[in-house]
Amino acid sequence: MTNEPRMRSQLADRATELVASRQPFVRATVVRAQSPTSARPGDSAIILSDGTIEGFVGGHCAKESVRTAAFTTLRDGEAMLLRVLPDDSAVFPETPGAQLTINPCLSGGALEIFLEPHLPTAVIEVVGDTPVAEAVAALAETVGFAVGRSLPGRVPEGAIAVIVSTHGHDEPECIRAALDAGVGFIGLVASRVRGGSVLDAMNLTPPERARIHTPVGVEIGARTAAEIGLSIVAGIVAAIRVDGVVAGDAEPIDAPATALDPICGMTVVVLPTTAHLRADGVDYWFCSQGCRDRYAAQVGQA
């Protein structure tokens, strides 16, 4: 089965919709297929964080291998080349960086499927229209962050940092909103004396105070607004990559429960739609209805 132009267009539109709504997903594309297999190079699908698959990358057994691998790419944020083989023979030449899955449930053939995770871009909320605020906003986008400008008011969903640069306007209100929203990195652009005075007047708890940085930014001897903006963005990057005090590119994806199919030995993701059988008080899950029916016959249960 090959993808028609209409299906490709529908998947492209769906991917655009998911990006706009900040939903994580994986785009899977068949890059190589050896007969007999129902998938063909160019077939593709979108896998959502709840395990839903939209599109086509092969039959039931291949889909389960892709679904399981997709959760790994969402967790790690790294693309993957998945090699799905029907047994332990090296059907394809070894590919550095590829993950090998032996899938005894396949009826033959072999597949290579490229999995690319799409995770929501982390948001930095910038408050104010000062030269420093504008510099932070511009540099943050250059580094790869999304920039929100909704405060004072509502902190945007997914904000990992809030930078307040308002020359004294609405500072306590913006800081409190960021604290209440659970933002891990809050920066107040102010001198050490004035910043300390603002925070002292807010009656903060020690954990809340630890999340607020003032003066904000790493020490680089910055003088101009652009240099100060650079030091602030560098401080946010350091908090993510070095200190680990705030989340990085996206909220972590919870790993789904998995189970071994007792018939074929395949690892399957346990979802409401996964083939299931309860026998002698024990729950079993299967890659397909066929494996489920075979096991039911073995244990004498319909």
Same domain, 59 and 108: yes
| pLDDT, tens digit, 9 for 90 and up, residues 11-58 | 999 999 998 888 899 999 999 887 777 888 899 999 998 889 999 998
The answer to whether 298 and 98 have CB atoms below 8 angstroms apart is no
pLDDT-derived band at 246, boundaries 50, 70, 90: low
121 has a pLDDT exceeding 90: no
Same domain, 213 and 263: no
99 or 60: which carries more pLDDT confidence? 60
Same domain, 161 and 238: yes
Same domain, 86 and 39: yes
Check which CATH number belongs to the domain holding 179 and give it: 3.40.50.720
One-letter amino acid for residue 128 of the chain = G
As a whole number of angstroms, the distance between CA 69 and CA 98 comes to 11
Same domain, 103 and 164: no
Average pLDDT over residues 138-161: 86
Same domain, 188 and 96: no
pLDDT of residue 153: 78
pLDDT of residue 248: 45
184 inside domain: yes
87 has a pLDDT exceeding 70: no
Kindly tell me the sign of the dihedral angle through the C-alpha atoms of 269, 274, 280, 281: positive
Tell me the backbone φ, ψ of residue 85, rounded to 5 degrees. Answer: -115, 150
265 inside domain: yes
Ranges 60-64, 121-125, 278-282: which has the least confidence: 60-64
Q: Which of 218, 243, 268 finishes a domain?
A: 243
Starting at the edge strand that comes first in sequence, how are the strands of the sheet with 159-164 ordered? 146-148, 123-127, 159-164, 185-188, 212-213
* Sequence-separated (6 or more) residues with CB below 8 Å from residue 96: none
Number of separate domains in the chain: 3
How confident is the prediction for the chain on average, in pLDDT? 86
* Sequence-separated (6 or more) residues with CB below 8 Å from residue 252: 75
70 inside domain: yes
Same domain, 218 and 233: yes
Tally of CB atoms within 10 A around 220: 12
Same domain, 221 and 136: yes
pLDDT-derived band at 95, boundaries 50, 70, 90: low
Average pLDDT over residues 106-129: 85
Same domain, 287 and 274: yes
pLDDT of residue 207: 94
Give residue 265's region: left, alpha or beta (phi > 0; psi -120 to 50): left
Same domain, 222 and 236: yes
Q: Which of 220, 243, 266 finishes a domain?
A: 243
| pTM for this prediction | 0.63
One-letter amino acid for residue 143 of the chain = V
As a whole number of angstroms, the distance between CA 71 and CA 54 comes to 15
292 inside domain: yes
**Continuous segment of H or E residues that includes residue 267:** strand 267-269
Same domain, 129 and 44: no
Q: Residue 29: helix, strand or coil by DSSP?
A: strand
Q: Which of 243, 269, 284 finishes a domain?
A: 243
| pLDDT, tens digit, 9 for 90 and up, residues 218-243 | 999 999 999 999 999 999 999 988 88
pLDDT-derived band at 97, boundaries 50, 70, 90: low
Same domain, 89 and 33: yes
As a whole number of angstroms, the distance between CA 223 and CA 211 comes to 25
pLDDT of residue 1: 44
250 inside domain: no
As a whole number of angstroms, the distance between CA 41 and CA 2 comes to 8
pLDDT of residue 249: 44
Residue 20 domain boundaries: 5-118
| pLDDT, tens digit, 9 for 90 and up, residues 247-290 | 544 455 566 788 998 988 888 889 888 899 998 889 999 988 88
253 inside domain: no
Task: List b or e across 189-200, with b for residues whose CB sees 16 or more CB atoms inside 10 angstroms.
Answer: bbeeeebeebbe
279 inside domain: yes
248 inside domain: no
